[in-house]
């Protein structure tokens, strides 16, 4: 418990410009109805790729059990890391589990590579998502100098991504840090890196 929190947006709450978009709740009957509406009244069979990361394998098992409740037969396939990256870059996958970290508090880093039409495949957009409106907003976000206008641009992107669901964000992992009482000014960066600048030890 406490190792993560449920995710909603494509970027996490520690990133500037984060917007708390609509939260989805589990509704088995509605999911079945949507499947039937899409032409799959009896569900379907699908394959999900994971690498040998134990957390992703465990997550896939949970997804497998949950999707079974609406008639989706999910087969889990563990793929060697190099083959996983090559295959998802080519689009050989049906579904896959992967994470995305950020080394900056700027929302462009957490969005552009994942959803821009210009980054399909190995450049980051392994969902092969393409939306001209999102592309236009991403470019506007790179050049807008007014912080409030820029924040609104990224709010719009987050709302569109949540509506289109090119990928489903499951959790924001949390990292716990323990320090001694005499350690002062230690802060965990948004990228969960340990930075020691400004840290001091009181005698």
pLDDT average, residue stretch 166-185: 80
How big is the CA angle at 40 (ends 37 and 46), to the nearest 5 degrees? 135
Q: Which residue has the higher pLDDT, 164 or 194?
A: 164
Least confident of 6-15, 96-105, 186-195: 186-195
Determine what percent of the chain falls in helix, strand and coil, rounding each to the nearest 5.
40, 15, 45
* Number of CB atoms found within 10 A of residue 1's CB: 3
pLDDT average, residue stretch 83-96: 97
Predicted confidence (pLDDT) per residue in 112-136, tens digit = 999 999 999 999 999 999 999 999 9
CB 15, CB 110: distance < 8 Å? yes
CATH architecture of 4-201: Roll (3.10)
Percent of the chain with pLDDT over 70: 92
- Give the Cα separation of 161 and 10 in Å (integer): 7
Please give the mean pLDDT across all residues of the chain.
90
Predicted confidence (pLDDT) per residue in 73-84, tens digit = 999 999 999 999
* Per-residue pLDDT at 3: 66
Domain parsing of the chain, residue ranges = 4-201
Confidence at 1, pLDDT banded by 50, 70, 90:
very low
* Residue that is written with structure tokens 């609406």 in the block: 70
Which residue pairs, CB below 8 angstroms and at least 24 apart, start in 134-137? 134/160, 134/161
CB 49, CB 87: distance < 8 Å? yes
Give the global pTM: 0.83
- Give the Cα separation of 102 and 154 in Å (integer): 16
């Amino acid at each position: 418990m406490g190792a993560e929190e449920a995710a909603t947006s494509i970027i996490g709450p520690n990133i500037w410009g984060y917007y708390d978009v609509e939260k989805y709740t589990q509704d088995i009957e509605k999911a079945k109805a949507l499947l039937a509406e899409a032409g799959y009244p009896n569900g379907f069979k699908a394959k999900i790729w994971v690498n040998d990361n134990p957390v992703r394998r465990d997550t896939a098992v949970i997804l497998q059990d949950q999707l079974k409740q609406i008639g989706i037969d999910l087969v889990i396939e563990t793929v060697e890391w190099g083959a996983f990256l090559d295959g998802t870059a080519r689009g050989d996958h049906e579904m896959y589990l992967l994470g995305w970290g950020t080394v900056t508090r700027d929302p462009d880093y957490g969005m552009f590579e994942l959803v821009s039409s210009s980054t399909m495949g190995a450049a980051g957009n392994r969902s092969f998502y393409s939306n001209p409106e999102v592309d236009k907003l991403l470019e506007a976000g790179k050049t807008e100098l007014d912080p409030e206008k820029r924040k609104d641009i990224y709010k719009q992107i987050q709302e569109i991504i949540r509506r289109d669901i090119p990928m489903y964000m499951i959790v924001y992992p949390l990292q716990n840090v323990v320090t001694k009482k005499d350690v002062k000014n230690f802060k965990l960066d948004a990228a969960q890196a340990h930075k020691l600048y400004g840290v001091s030890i009181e005698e």
